[in-house]
Structure 1
Amino acid sequence: MNSLDEPWKRCSSRLRAELGEDIFTSWFGRLELEAVADGRASFTVPTRFLKSWIESHYLDRILAALNAEIGGIVDLAIAVRSSTHAPACGAGPAVAREPRQAEYVAAPPREAATASRELARRNEVAPAQDSLSGSPLDRRLTFATFLVGRSNQLAYSAARRVTEAKVGQMPAFSPLYIHAAVGLGKTHLLQALAHSAVSQGRRVIYLTAEKFMYGFVAALRAQTAIAFKESLRAIDLLIFDDAQFLQGKSIQTEFCHALNALVDAGRQVVVAADRPPGDLEALEERVRSRLAGGLCVEMGGLDEPLRIKILEARIAAAQVTQPNFEVSPTVLAFVARTLNSNGRDLDGAVNRLLAHTTLTGAALSVETAEIAIRDLVRTHEPKRVKIEEIQKLVASHYSVTRADILSSRRTATVVKPRQIAMYLAKTLTLRSLPEIGRRFGGRDHTTVLHAVRKIEGLSHADRSLNDELELLKRMLQD
C-alpha cells in the first residue's frame, strides 16, 4: 500500500456517508487517487463518460473530502486510464471488470473498425446477456399501418416530426410525452417511430418500463451499472413506454438521471403512459416535472369514423386468409357505433365475426353481430378519482386549505378533514396505504390506516357523518 491509500480510504468513507452507498458505488467505485503534488490531486477513471460525469457533478465534494483528510488541495485532475491499468489497492469498493462499449470507442484509429465489428458481433451472438438490448419490436406496427383520425392527429404529427429531424440537430421538443388510455394506439405509434428511426441508421432503443427495471436491477447485481448508464446515454433516441409502471426510488432516480443527460445533450426522448405526467402519482415529483417540461400530447378516444377505418383494415387483413369473409356496411356501422372504448375491442369484434362466419356458414346480420360481440359491450366506467381532487374538495367542504391538510397541524378543525380525505383516498382510489401517506405530506402508512379505521367506525355510529361521506363520494364521482 502506498502513502495515499489510507487518506483516500478515509475520503471514500466521507463520500459514502454523505452521498449514500448506491451513488458512491455507481460513480466512485472505480475512481483511483494516483498522486498528490503541488496542491493538485490526480485521479484516474476507466471511461470518458465517468470522467465527464464526476467533473460535472462531484468535484466540489471530492475536494472538500480531500481537504478534510489531507489538506492543502486546491485543484483536481481526472484522466482516463488504460483498459489494462491494474486497480490500485484501497481505491474503494472492488467492482468486477466487464467489456465496455467505451473501451472500443477509445481504441486507436487503426483498430476502431475492428473494435466496432467485435462489439456488433458480441451484441448479435449474446443479446440475452445485454441488459439494455431493448424491448422487442413488432414488425407490423409501422407508420404505414397506423390509422390517423382527429383523436390522434397531433400525436401522429409530433412523432413524424421526430423522424424528420436530422441526426445532430437539436430536437424541436424533448421529451415528447404521449398519453392515452389502453388500446388507443400509443404503443403502435412508438414502435412505428422506432422502426423509422432504425431505418435511418439512428442509434435508437425502445424500452418498456418493465424492461428498463429488469435491466437496471440485473446491471446492479452483475456490477455493470456504469456500463448500463453509458450505453443508455450513448443513443440518439430513447423511446420509453408504459412509464406508469416505473417503480422503486433508485430505479426512478436512474431514469431521471438518464432523462436529464439525454435532454441536456440535445438527444430526443419520447415517453408514453396512460395518463398525464401530473397524474403519475407513483413517480417522484422531479420525474413528473421533467416529463411535463416537454411537449405533452393526448391521444383521445377513437371517434366513429376512425373506428370504421380500423374495422375495415382488420377485415381486409382477415380476408387474405378467408376470402369469403364479408361484412356489410350496415353491420360495420353497427359494430363501430356499439364498441366505442378502444382498438383492442375492435380487433376482438372482427375475430368474433370471423368465427361466426366460418363456423356457422351463415351470413352476418345486425342481430347475429349483436350476439357475437355482446361480451365486448362495456358498461359506463366510473370516473377515475385523483387524490389531489379529494384533498381540494374536502378542504373546501370543511373550510380549511389543502395546505392545512398536508401540514403537521393537529388541531381538531384540521385533523378531522385530513382523516376524511385519507379515508376517501383509500375508498375511491387504487393507491396503497404508503402511497396515500406520501401524498399527505409524507406520512407513515400506519397513520393512514388509523385514519381509515377511525372514519369507518365513526360513520357507522354517526348518521350525519355517513351522509357527508356519501355526498363527498357522489361529488367526486360525478
Structure 2
Amino acid sequence: MFERQDFGDTVETASVVVTIAAEEAAGIKVEEATIQEAWERVRRRLRAELGEDVFSSWFGRLELAGIVEGVAYLTVPTRFLKSWLEAHYAERLRVNCIAELPAPNGVLLSVRPVSREAAAPRVEAALRARPVAAASTIAEPGKPAGANPAQPCENDPVDACGTALDKRMSFQSFVVGKSNQLAFAAAERIAGAPAGQSPYNPLYLHAGVGLGKTHLLQAIAQEARRQGKRVAYFTADRFMYGFVAALKSQTALAFKEKLRGIDLLIVDDVQFIQGKSIQQEFGHTINALLDAGKQIVVAGDRLAGELEALDERIRSRLGGGLVVEVGELDEALRVKILASRMEALQGAHPNFQVSPDVVAYVARVVTTNGRDLDGAANRLLAHATLSGQLVTLETAEAAIRDLVRTREPRRVKIEDIQKLVATRYNVSRADILSERRTAAVVKPRQIAMYLSKALTPRSLPEIGRRFGGRDHTTVLHAVRKIEKAISEDRSLHEEVDLLKRMLQE
C-alpha cells in the first residue's frame, strides 16, 4: 500500500471522474471487458512513456485484480517488485491509472499468491461445478473452491488464513523496554488465555513505523496457534485482496463464514483498509466475533479515534477495548535491541565482533526506529566482512553515516493540522469539521485544508473526507483561495508560514 506505500493516499483529483464500482457489493456490475480495455490503455501509456525495456522489467507482471468501491486493486507476484514500484514509479503509475481507470478513491498495490495463475482454470471449473451457497470454504486465489473441508485455520494454506507468519517474530525474540512493556504484557496475556476467556477484547495497539507492533502481532498469532487456537492473521492489504478475490469468484459468503469460524482475528495496519463494502464487512466480522466471545487484535499507526478514513462504528469498537501505545525507543532500549541483533549476526558470522562502545555509539545516534537499527547492524557486518577490518568507532561512523544524516522529516498528519489551526484561531476542531459557515470558522477551515494539501500526501477527496465528508471541489476551492490570499496579504503569508514551521518541527 502506498502511503508508507499506498496509492490510495496520494491520488490527485481529476476534472471529470466517473465512479464505477465493480462487483455486486457496490450495487453495480461493470463489464469485465470494459475494465480490461481501460487497463490495457494504462499499460500502453506506461510503455510509451518509459520505453519497452523499463516497462517489461517492472510493469510486465503488474495486473489489475479488479475495481471495488472506486479503488483499483493492482497485484504483482513478489514483494521486491511491489517495493520497487512503490519507491520509483508510484507517481507515474498513479497518474496513468487515474487518467484511464474509474478509480476515484485510490489505487492499492499488493502481492498476489504465487500459484494464482496456474490454478485459475481449476478455480473457474470448481465454481461452475458447485453452487455458491453450498460452499463451505473460501475460494482463495490459486485454490479451487471446496478443495479442503472446513478445518482449523492453522492447518489451512496461507491464503485461507491471511498472511504468512515470520517465525523469527516470537515473544522470545522481542526486546522489552519501558516504552513497550505494557503492550508486550497484554500480548502475552491474550496469546496464553484460553479461547473465549481473554480479559482484553479487542486489543488495539498503535505506534509509528518500526517500533515493534507487527512483531507483537505475529508473536500473538504464533503462540496462539501453538496452543491449538484457530488464528487468522491479516495485513490490511491482504484482507482487502481476499475480500475482492471472494467477490470476483462469487464466494463472498464462504469468505465471511470462514472468518467468523476462527478463535482469534489479527489485523495489522488497519488504517489502510479502504472501500465502503470492505469496511462494512470488516465491521460486521468484528461485531460477530466479539459477540461470540472471540478475540480481536488490531494495530494501527495512530489512535483508533483518529483514523477518520475508517468507518465510525469500527473506530468505536476498537476504542472500546484495551488501547495500548507502543512508544518511541529510548536509548537504553535501542542498546538492548542492537546488542540482540549483533548477537544474532555473530552466531552466523563467528569472526564478526563489535565492542560495547560501538554498540552504544550506534544506539545513541540512530534514534528513529528498530528497522534503522537493523540497517545499522547490517552495514557494520558488511564493512567487517568485505574489508576484513575490525569495527571501530571511526569505521562505524562511516558505515552508518547515511542513517544519521538522512532522517526523514516529521510526518505531518491532517489531525495535527486541524488541532493546531483550531488552537491558533480560537475555534474547536469540531467547528472546523462542522457545517458552520461563519467567517470565524470558514477561514481556519480553509487554511487547514490548504496546509493539508501542502504538507501531506493525501488526495483532495481524502482531505475532503477528513474535513467532515466534504467534496473534493470544496477542498480545491479552499486551496486556491488561500493561495491567492497569501500572495496578496503579507501578514497572512507569514502566519501560514509560521503554522508550517510549527507543524514540521
TM-score (ref. length: structure 1):
0.72
Give the deviation of 1:121 after TM superposition: 11
Task: State the distance in 2 between where 1:122 and 1:184 align.
Answer: 28
Aligned residue number for residue 203 of structure 2: 176
CA distance in 2 between counterparts of 1:140 and 1:468 reads 50
Q: Distance between the aligned counterparts of 1:437 and 1:383, measured in 2?
A: 23
The answer on 1:100 being equivalent to 2:136 is: yes
Q: Residue 238 of structure 1: SS of its match in structure 2?
A: strand
Q: Relative to structure 1, is the Cα distance of residues 22 and 354 closer, same or farther in structure 2, using a 3 angstrom cutoff? A: closer
Partner deviation per Cα, 1:364-411 (whole Å, 9 max, x = no partner): 210111001111115565544443443344345445554443344444
CA pair 383-339 structure 1, distance change in 2 beyond 3 A: closer
Structure 2 residue aligned with 1:367, among 382, 391, 394? 394
| Aligned equivalents of 1:455, 1:117: Cα separation in 2 | 59
SS in 1 for 2:297: strand
Taking a change above 3 Å as real, the CA distance of residues 96 and 123 of structure 1, as seen in their structure-2 partners, is farther
Q: Assess, with a 3 A threshold, how the Cα gap between structure 1 residues 101 and 419 changes in structure 2: closer, same or farther.
A: closer
In structure 2, the residue matched to 1:255 is: 282
- Provide the rounded CA distance (Å) in 2 between the counterparts of 1:121 and 1:232: 11
Correspondences of 1:58-207 after superposition (within 5 Å): 96-101=132-137, 118-119=149-150, 127=157, 132-169=160-197, 171-207=198-234
Identify which of structures 1 and 2 has the higher relative contact order when contacts are C-alpha pairs closer than 8 Å and 6+ apart: 2
- Give the alignment partner of residue 346 of structure 1, picking from 350, 373, 384: 373
Equivalent position to 1:229, from 256, 275, 279 = 256
CA distance in 1, matches of 2:152, 2:188: 32
How big is the shift at 1:151?
1.2
- Partners in 1 of 2:191 and 2:462 — Cα distance? 38
CA distance in 1, matches of 2:326, 2:385: 35
TM-superposed deviation, 1:223: 1.2
Deviates more, 1:360-369 or 1:404-413: 404-413
One-letter code aligned to 2:496: L
1:284 to 294, 311, 315: 311
Q: Describe the superposition over 1:384-441 as per-residue Cα deviations: whole angstroms up to 9, x where unpaired.
A: 4443443344345445554443344444444333322221222233322112212223
| C-alpha distance after superposition, 1:182-226 (max 9, x if no partner) | 111111111111111111111111111111000001111111111
Larger radius of gyration: 1
Out of 240, 245, 262, the residue aligned to residue 218 of structure 1 is: 245
Corresponding residue for residue 359 of structure 2: 332
AA in 1 matched with 2:252 = A
Task: Return 5+ residue gaps in structure 2 as ranges.
Answer: 1-22, 29-129, 139-145
After superposition, what is the alpha-carbon deviation per residue over 1:452-477, rounded to whole angstroms, capped at 9, x for unaligned? 01110121122122122223333444
| AA at the equivalent of 2:280 | T
Query: What root-mean-square deviation, in Å, do the aligned CA atoms of Structure 1 and Structure 2 show?
Result: 2.9
| CA deviations over 1:88-134 (Å, ceiling 9, x no partner) | xxxxxx973453159xxxxxxxxxxxx9985459997x937x5x332
What is the alpha-carbon distance in structure 2 between the residues aligned to residue 434 and residue 186 of structure 1?
29
Aligned counterpart in structure 2 of residue 22 of structure 1, from 20, 25, 30: 25
Q: Stretches of 4+ moved more than 6 A in 1?
A: 121-124
- TM-superposed CA distance for 1:296, in Å, is 0.8
Pairs aligned (count): 375
- Secondary structure of the residue aligned to 2:161 is coil
- Counterpart of 1:321 in structure 2 is 348
Match 2:480 to one of 447, 453, 456? 453
* 1:44-95 Cα shifts (integer Å, max 9, x gaps): xxxxxxxxxxxxxxxxxxxxxxxxxxxxxxxxxxxxxxxxxxxxxxxxxx97
Residues 472 and 215 of structure 1, relative CA distance in 2, 3 Å threshold: same
CA distance in 2, matches of 1:360, 1:253: 56
Residues 261-310 of structure 1, C-alpha deviations (whole Å, 9 max, x = no match): 11121111111112221222321222111111111111112222222222
- For structure 1, the 5+ residue unaligned runs are 1-19, 26-93, 103-114
Letter in 2 for 1:137: L
Q: Cα deviation per residue 1:13-36 (whole Å; 9 max; x = unaligned)?
A: xxxxxxx963999xxxxxxxxxxx
Please point out which of 320, 323, 336 is paired with 1:296: 323
Cα contact 1:95–1:223 (8 A) shared by 2: no
Structure 1: how far apart are the matches of 2:153 and 2:424? 63
Q: Which amino acid aligns with 1:22?
A: A
Distance 1:117 1:440, change over 3 A: closer
TM-score by length of 2: 0.68
